[in-house]
Every structure is written in C-alpha cells, then in structure tokens.
Structure 1
C-alpha cells in the first residue's frame, strides 16, 4: 500500500543523537524572511479559499462573526493599498486624520471580535446532560489553544465544552486574539522567524510552569490548533531552559495542523529512548523519558502544509520533535459528516461542516473521534457506532523520511565540526565510515538505528495503538463507549 493511498501515514519522532539539527535562531534572518514571504504567497489562495468554504451551515452568531471578519479583512487590505498614495497626495494633517479613522475602526472591530477575557475555564456539569465524566482529575492540568479562523466566542462557547465532554476532564482555554487576517498572517510569519513578545505566550508559559512545578500534578496536557502551535513551541523551548528535566516529564503536547516551523526539545542520547505503544497510565508515568509530543496533520490543511508537513518532509536541517500522524484520505471523514448530518438535520440541530480543510478544530476531532463527536452533536448511539475513526486503520510508516531526517542531522553535525577544514558534507558512505570514531557520529548512528527500530515496531499497527491521545479518550468516556459498543454489537447480531 502506498503512503498517499493509505488513510494514515506515521512519521516517527526525530532522535538526532548527534545533535546536528540547527535551530532557526541560528539561521540567517533575511534568508528565513524571504522563504517565509514566498511560502505565504503560495499558500494564501488556499488559506482564503479554505476560510470561505469551511462552513456551509452556520448559526447566526457564527455567520455574523464571519461577515465581520471579512469586513475587517477588506478594510485592512484597502488601508494597506491606499496608504502610500494617500500619503503622497494629502497634506500631513489630513493624512493623519484619515489614518486615525481607519485605525480606530479596525481597533473597534477587533475589540468586538476578541472580547475582554483571554482565558476561560470549563468545568462541565455532566449530571445536567447525562454525561459520565468519571473521577475528578484534580491532579491533571489540561489546556487548549485555538488557532486562526476560530473566534474567541466560538472557542470558549463551542470548542472548549466539546473537548471537555469528549475527554471527560476540566479544561482551560487560552484564546489567541485576532487583528484581521492580513495582520494575523504577518504576525505569524514574524513569529515563525523570531521570538516576539506576546501576552498570550506569557499566559501560556505561566500556566504550564505552575502546573509542572506543582508536585500534586501528575501531568500537564496542552492541545493547540494551527498557528497557536508557534506560541506553544516557543513556550516549551523556554520551559526546557528554566525547569529541570524531571519536571518536564509531566508535559504532553498534542498539535492539530501545526503551523510552527520548528518544535525544539533537547536532543541527544538521553532523549533517544522510544516511547511505549498504547501505554497504560502506570506505564506513561514510569517509562516516559521526556516531553511527549504528537502532531496530527491533514494533507489539505494549508497551515499544516506550511508548518509540520514542510518541516518534517522537506526542511531536513531543522529540528521538529514528536511523532507525526499524517491524514491522507478524507473520504472516511466526509462520509462520517454526511451520516451525522442526515441523522440530526431532522431534529433541526446545527450540522457539522462538510468541508475537511482542517481550519476548525472540529475537523480534526471528527476525523479522530467520530463516534464521540456525533454524540456531542446529538446523534444517536446507532449512528455513532457506524462511524469509523481514521485511527482504526492500519498505518503506513514513512521509514524513508525518518532515515533522511537522521542522516541529514548527522551530515549537519559533520559539516559544523569540520568547518575550519573547509570540507563538504559527507555522503552516506562517508558518514558510516566515520561512525567508529570517538565523535558525535557514533551517537548519530545510534539514533538512526533507534529510528529504524521505531519504524519496525510501529509497522502494521493501527493509529490508536501508537497514539497516547487515544488512550485518554478511552479513559475519559468509558460509559459512552460502552453504550456505543453495545449498540454496535446489537447491530451485528441483527
């Protein structure tokens, strides 16, 4: 089975035993900016089209926010296009008044869309709607960060309660403010190249640091969507510098369509132990060696294309830690949405979007957890039982990509260590010949062997047998899954 035809492709985590990957902070700034501008220009049509077609059935509040977002985008585009001609034609005082009026209107619309609060806490009352949340998870800290295209109102009114129900845990939402799509894209481009001050990142860092330093906390789980992964990556890098390694073991990161260009974690021999597949709760505490990171990316998600997919498959010089689950076949997800729409349209309930662009967190949840999503939207257990998750399919392990990443890291290490001699990058034969010497090449070869072993261990397995996130879903929704399972068994007997 080819990787493109398989529903799910898995790229194992980067080992980088020789620590040969180069952080973006050590790369030439103007070269990165030029690459970012070219990438943004190529991806802008896909992003605009995906944002326009992401929802065919919207509620009135969502429709109003979409219209306001489009109006704000048009105003900002007109302001940027007319700024230079107006500056040349108008006197200074009139140009200042014109610019001030535009800025005040933009700021007022942004204030209306962002709201007053950036952080929201959801303690869902399961007794009022028949949900079995299980035991109180006071020793866990769960956080979610919404991405571009998701308003603050939709994030904390719809997405946050949905995630809280599905995982059966209290969850905190840190909303990323929007300043209009043109300014948001420019800000994301600059954040991918350099570390910029941000109140959202400071809030995220403070919440993560407090949870990791609290001895009563067993784990800290952070889920982020598209451009918010840039802030999570920067916060994790800072935490790795500020906190000891034993505290960082409690941290787990799950990204969905990550737009981050790198995901920095400490590399080397101490981080090269492979994570157990489908671990239990005790194994997750005893066997973990560092921060656990998983990335989920749809192939048609424009943010994932410029972020995690490009960084893992094309940019071999950078460091992008964590395993990557690439969703290739969206037909299964579309069929699940069509089935759910047919079931709940008769009840006059809001339907899910038919497109699978990945710009909404609901798209990823529907692909990964269709049964839980259908029950969250009010569908019956029979409809939920007939829907299959993409994680139930057998994965195709991209061993070629995993080996290329390790070999590129070894090549970068050799080029950096031999810079004064003016030597060029060695071929694979040269790297293998220098592995026996007492330098970083032996650790790089060991990392390559661990990557190959990880590919072999994951080959032929389903996605839910490798992902830790699937285990949390099973623990948080035992009652709901038992109901779905009994319904599925009755359908088979009939």
Structure 2
C-alpha cells in the first residue's frame, strides 16, 4: 500500500474514531504490553544502519502515514493534572513560551518556503538574508533557552536523602523545550519519584527546526552538542564509584539523542559499569535502541528455553570472561562455573553472578507510548512492533507499554506523567505530595501486543518479563504467570496489571525495586 493510500485509510479511521470517543472513555483504556525483543532478528526491511538518504525518504513517507495523529502532539488541551507544571496550563510563563513558539513557526515556515527561490537572487543578497533570519531566530530562541545547559530540580520538590545517595537520576528532554518547561519537567519527575533530578538541556531552535534536527540526528547518526555533553556527563557518573545506579529518563527527541549516547557507551564503556544503567523513555522518537546480550548462549536460551535462561547462572570475573560450558546442578538447572584461577592475581578477582535471562549490557530498558501520539507512532511504535522483514537487521530493544486512551497526547508532563504517573494532593492544604498510588493506568489489565506470526520467538518470554520486574531471586513471585496472548491464543491463568510489569512504578515516592540476585562485583538489575 502506498503512503498516500495508507494516509487516507488512517485519516478515515481517525474520523470514525471521533464518533466513538465518548464510548471509549466510558469503557476505560487499554494497554498493550510488548515484551523486549531478544535480538538477532529484525523488525522491518530497513534499519538505522541503512544508507542515510534511504532512511530520510522512509521517514518522510511515514510522516504522512502517521500524519492523522499530529493533533495529539498538543491534544487534549485539558485537564491540567499537575497545575502550573503542565506545559499548556494557562499561566503567563507558559503563554509566553507558546507565543514565542508560534512566532518561530510562522517565521521558519516562511523561510523554508522562500529558500528554494533564493537561487534567482545574487549570492550576497541570499547570504545577508539568511544571516539576518538566523540572527532573529537565535534571539527568539534565546528568550526560551536561557544560558544554562544543565539544570537541577528544585529542592522543595525532592531533597537528597541518604538512602538515595548511590543513585543519579538524569533527564534529557524533547522538542521545543526551553528553560521554563525543562525546569517543570525536572520538578515533576522529582515530585513523582522523590529524588533530585539532573537535567541535560536539549535546547530548542523552534519546532520546525527541531524536527529537521531530529531527521538529521536519527538518519545520519549526527551527534549535536547536547548529545556530546550528555555522553560526557553519563560516562563520568558511571565511573563514579559512589554511584551504583543511574536512572536515565528520555522524552521525544531525547530518545534519539539518548540512543546515540547509549551507542557510544556500548562501544567503549566497561560492561560492569553499564550494568548500573536503567533507561526509561516516553514518546520515544528514535529509530533504534541497542541493548545486546553479553553472551550468545544467553540470547539462545532466552529464545529457545526461557525457564532454563531464568535458572542458568552466569558467573564472571571483572578481569576475564570464563569460557567453560554450562554444567548441570542438583536441582536440574544449569550454571556457568568459572575456570580455576591462573595466578595469585586472578584468585583475588571479584566474581559476579546473575541469571542468563538478564544477561544484557544495560541494566534495564522500558518504553512508554500512547497509540495516538504522533511522535511515538513515528518512532518507537513503528520500529518496535512492526513485522520482521529480514533476519539480519538490528532490533529496537526494551519492553514497551503502549496505552490506548483518548487522552493520549505527547507532552511530557501534561499527557504522559499526568496520565501514567498522576499526583496526589494533601487533603488539608491541596498541595501535591507525590505520586498517587490510586493509579488507573497501573491498575489496567495488560494484553500481550499482537505482532503477527512473523514475530514468533523473537521476544522474551512473559515469565522473564514478569520475574525481571521483581528482581529475579528477590523472594517475590517467580513462577510463570500466563496471560491471554493474541498470537498463541493461550488461556488466561490470571490477569496481570501494568504495575506488575512496570519497574519505573516501583521508584515512586522514594521507593525502590527489590534488590536482584547478585554475588560480589556490581549489582545487576533485571534486563528484560
């Protein structure tokens, strides 16, 4: 089907959906859960390793395929679940930001329309006009961006507590975010999870120019200044011996930039340091997300025998990788025994033990998306859920929560956090006091996302997803939990809620997920 025909079909479906919005709201929402891709197989017939110009053409064509969802970049305009922290809340600071962006859109659109006819004018005239426009554009963006490149959440929303001294929370923002909205994003995160948050500012150049930058970044793998700054800061934190956990939260274009940062980290950072890292994305605009298995046998077991993958223990030294084969243990499970020490030095090696089912380079990856969010459709939902086309292409890794709701927009605070991590108020003062445990999204019953027969055996087992949230060996439920799977028509044993699979939910209000199984070395978290 051509992109134009697909767009017409999608637009027709969108128009029809408007007639039943009230019915959907009355019936509630639904969340599809896509288990993490295992790796080694593909999703569609092209990927980020293709030729840049081919990727650009594909991106432009799919822009029109998903264009029916463009209104949901801003919709719904209400309610304002976080009051003045929401992007579209009608206070003076927000209205000023919206006005400047409106002026920028008009000027940039006019500039892009006039630019093709510049070939008919003398070069000095064109150079002067472009320079004058860029100066005006920079000045307007300066009003939004301010002067800082890193920010921290305000202490009144979350203070540094001793029990969180080993953690570092980092946020990388998306398109069109200036200083004011960046601070609001950080404060909303701090209020929700009870930790201070460091923000690395992806500065805005205006909405249209930001979108062009997205195309360049994800198709030409071009690292802009904020990507390079983010890489340096994350690398320093990972090497900090006082930090055993790094939480990296990404939104929108931040998913593209964060994915590039992860690519660099995977290339040159020791993997026991990468085990500290947990990544959570919202409305991810990236076209790939890497998190490879650390051993081929772990990938093979996760695909062919999930229970064996959960029961097989991998033991490794920080100096050398053992090469022995799996051996049978007394209870029927298998474990990797380390080779005997070769010297006095190697006998002092620190060994770490973890399940083969979580044998990933990066500790944990989770994605959150709305079915009506244009950016998510153009990014994570397109690349993580499409049918495979070739067995040689890279994957979009990490578990995915895809929520169907008539309130599913793209704004970080107003749509994603308000909808998925709503706040509660103090009954006496009316002030926000943290995340609300009475959370409709987390109470939703999940269904395993439909991927088609071509995706069989390319995703982790549901058992691994479920046990991974609980830490593997934490003392909580580790037995298989069956749910209805639309691909296999499996019978439901019991319903499973979003909160049972969302690791990020377990950080709310200063809490922490259970500690995973580990022996020595760096603590490994679930990698499903």
Same fold per superposition (TM over 0.5) = yes
- The residue aligned with 2:297 is 269
Q: 2:105 aligns with which of 73, 79, 92?
A: 73
Which of 414, 418, 436 matches 1:362?
414
Q: Deviations over 1:445-465 (max 9, x none)?
A: xx77x4687586363211111
Pick closer, same or farther for the CA change 1:406–1:119 going to 2, 3 Å: farther
Partner of 1:298: 370
1:30 aligns with 2:106: no
**Selected match of 2:384 from 312, 315, 319:** 312
What secondary structure is seen at the aligned counterpart in 1 of 2:74?
A: helix
Pairwise CA distance, 1:311: 0.9
Give the SS at the match of 2:37.
coil
1:198 deviation in Å? 1.2
Higher normalized helix content (fraction of residues): 1
SS in 1 for 2:402: strand
- Select the residue among 124, 128, 141 that pairs with 1:93: 124
- Of 289, 306, 309 in structure 1, the residue corresponding to residue 359 of structure 2 is 289
2:195–2:510 CA contact under 8 A, matched in 1: no
Report the more deviating stretch, 161-170 or 386-395: 386-395
User: Does structure 1 retain, via aligned residues, the 8 Å contact 2:202–2:226?
Assistant: yes
The equivalent position to 1:233 in structure 2, one of 259, 265, 275, is 259
Distance in structure 1 (CA, Å) of the matches to 2:278 and 2:482: 20
With structure 1 as the length reference, what TM-score do the two structures score?
0.71
Matches within 5 A, 1:343-382: 356-372=408-424, 379=430
Name structure 1 gaps, 5 residues minimum.
Answer: 277-284, 331-354, 410-446, 479-494
Change in 2 beyond 3 A, CA 1:183/1:41: farther
Tell me which residue corresponds to 1:39: 62
Instruction: Measure the CA separation in 2 of the matches of 1:266 and 1:383.
Output: 35
In the superposition, the TM-score normalised over structure 2's length comes to: 0.67
Contact 2:253 2:286 in 1 (8 A): yes
Deviations 1:133-156 (A, max 9, x none): 754522111001111143232111
Give the structure 2 partner of residue 120 of structure 1. Answer: 151
Structure 2 counterpart of 1:109: 140
Structure 1 partner of 2:505: 470
Could you report, residue by residue, the CA deviation over 1:419-475 in whole angstroms, capped at 9, with x for unpaired residues? xxxxxxxxxxxxxxxxxxxxxxxxxxxx77x46875863632111111111111154
Q: Residues 331-387 of structure 1, C-alpha deviation per residue, up to 9 Å, x if partnerless?
A: xxxxxxxxxxxxxxxxxxxxxxxx541223332112222244x569x7469999795
Distance 1:234 1:99, change over 3 A: closer
Deviation at 1:83, TM superposition (A): 2.2
CA shift, 1:30, in A, is: 2.9
Aligned residue for 2:170?
Answer: 143
C-alpha deviation, 1:321, in angstroms: 0.6
For the structure 1 residues 26 and 116, does the alpha-carbon distance in structure 2 shift closer, same or farther, using more than 3 Å as the test? same
User: Post-superposition shift, 1:51?
Assistant: 3.4
Distance 1:108 1:134 in 2: 40
The structure-2 alpha-carbon separation of the partners of 1:402 and 1:52, relative to structure 1 and needing over 3 Å to count, comes to closer
- 1:457 equivalent in structure 2: 481
Cα offset for 1:117? 1.0
SS in 2 for 1:396: strand
TM-superposed deviation, 1:69: 0.6
- 1:394 is aligned to 2:445: yes
The question of 1:59 aligning with 2:91 is answered: yes
Go from structure 1 to structure 2 and tell me whether the alpha carbon gap of 1:97 and 1:198 turns closer, same or farther (over 3 Å shift).
closer
- Indicate which of 182, 191, 197 corresponds to 1:165: 191
8 A contact 2:169–2:246 mirrored in 1: yes
SS at match of 1:401: coil
List gaps (5 residues or longer) in structure 2. Answer: 1-23, 79-87, 311-352, 467-479, 484-494, 514-528
Change (3 A) 1:405 1:395: same
* Structure with greater contact order relative to length (CA < 8 Å, sep ≥ 6): 1
Shift of 1:199: 1.2
